[in-house]
Amino acid sequence: MLLFDGAFRGGNQLRSPLLVVGSLGLDSLKTPTGEVEATLGGTAAYFAMAASLYTDVWLVAAVGTDFPPAYRRALEERTVDLTGLQVLDGETFRWSGEYGADLNVAHTLEIHLNVFSEFHPTLPTAYRQAGLVFLANIQPALQLEVLQQVEKPSLVAVDSRDLWIQMSRDELTEVIRKSDLVFLNDAEIREYTREANLVAAARSVLALGPRLVVIKKGEHGAILVSQEDGMFAIPAFPHELVADPTGAGDSFAGAMLGYLARRGGTDIGALRRAVVHGSAVASFTVQALGTERLAALTMDEVLQRCRAFRYLTQFDDDVEGVWEKGT
């Protein structure tokens, strides 16, 4: 059963590979179920691990000379190309965070930008031809530097966070104007648009130019709002145990864009399926600390979770078949 036969105007064909520019770091995480020290983290790590289940990934980030070779290998083994990884003199970006019982908000304990504070993305020549570009959460000024270097990508997606909304609002708006797909969580899009209502907030972002907005709602799922197709909403997968929400959003974006790159299109049906894949992969990410579960994830498992999402959300056509009262 195909519900959607429309296609987006333009941009319907996508070129691989997929370029991600973001952070690689060493995370120390503490959650109610466990803790881990200096594990592979950063927005680009979660994105690339998820996206590389679907397609080849080019990664641009900066690490220090202390970045463990094992983490580099873990990425390369998934055919994440690290030609664009800058190794700078100094230490790798480090973040330590703690989650309370509700797992909703990360409390930052320590943050050391280290070499990340000197990072300016420089794309290897080949990367300038990237078909899909993901601007992970970094300073909007750096996101703009990336956009100056890529040549006519089919799809540009951007993520951001409260810090940049507060400190670099104008530059962030410039990035959003140049993007096709905007990822923000519910708190961020409310703060950025100053609209309490999420639908109004999404429309206000679309009015800046992007064709698509994904509102990430954590344990409450996600909403895709588009210029042409209205809204698609999906709940988060209801787990009995959530170990660590770190990276859920970036792995969601990685699977969503990876799926689109692999399928080579952004028609309405593909976009919705891409959101299901994003939700499926994110639902695995949160089941272990750091990238542990994501690193071991197979496509078979993802497809099984997609089937589970289908069972979780579907109801039959007969929903409209109710007798008028009295008949």
**CB of residue 194 to a copy of itself, shortest distance in Å:** 11
**CB of residue 221 to a copy of itself, shortest distance in Å:** 6
Look up residue 277 and give its amino acid: H
**CB of residue 3 to a copy of itself, shortest distance in Å:** 5
Percentages (nearest 5) of helix, strand, coil residues in the chain: 40, 25, 35
Taking each helix axis from N to C end, the angle separating 268-285 and 299-313, rounded to the nearest 10 degrees, works out to 110
Ranges of H-type helices in 207-324: 248-263, 268-285, 292-295, 299-313
By beta-carbon proximity to a copy of itself, the closer residue of 111 and 303 is 303
By beta-carbon proximity to a copy of itself, the closer residue of 110 and 316 is 316
* Phi, psi angles (nearest 5°) of residue 39: -90, 160
**CB of residue 202 to a copy of itself, shortest distance in Å:** 9
Cα dihedral 106→109→115→117 (10° resolution): 70
**CB of residue 146 to a copy of itself, shortest distance in Å:** 25
By beta-carbon proximity to a copy of itself, the closer residue of 175 and 282 is 282
State the Cα–Cα distance between residues 208 and 202, nearest whole angstrom: 10
Q: 10 Å Cβ neighbour count for 171? A: 16
By beta-carbon proximity to a copy of itself, the closer residue of 57 and 61 is 57
By beta-carbon proximity to a copy of itself, the closer residue of 192 and 259 is 259
CA dihedral over 236, 247, 117, 59, signed as positive or negative: negative
By beta-carbon proximity to a copy of itself, the closer residue of 68 and 264 is 264
State the Cα–Cα distance between residues 133 and 171, nearest whole angstrom: 18
By beta-carbon proximity to a copy of itself, the closer residue of 112 and 203 is 203
State the Cα–Cα distance between residues 223 and 199, nearest whole angstrom: 9
Using DSSP, state whether 209 is helix, strand or coil: coil
By beta-carbon proximity to a copy of itself, the closer residue of 41 and 278 is 278
Residue ranges binding a copy of itself (CB under 8 A): 1-4, 52-55, 79, 101-102, 196-200, 203, 217, 220-221, 223, 230-235, 238-242, 259, 262-263, 269, 272-273, 275-277, 299, 302-303, 306-307, 309-320, 322-325
**CB of residue 20 to a copy of itself, shortest distance in Å:** 16
**CB of residue 100 to a copy of itself, shortest distance in Å:** 10
**CB of residue 276 to a copy of itself, shortest distance in Å:** 5
- The widest CA-to-CA distance across the chain, in whole angstroms, is 79
State the Cα–Cα distance between residues 41 and 63, nearest whole angstrom: 11
Tokens of 248: 């859920």
Tokens of 20: 């991600």
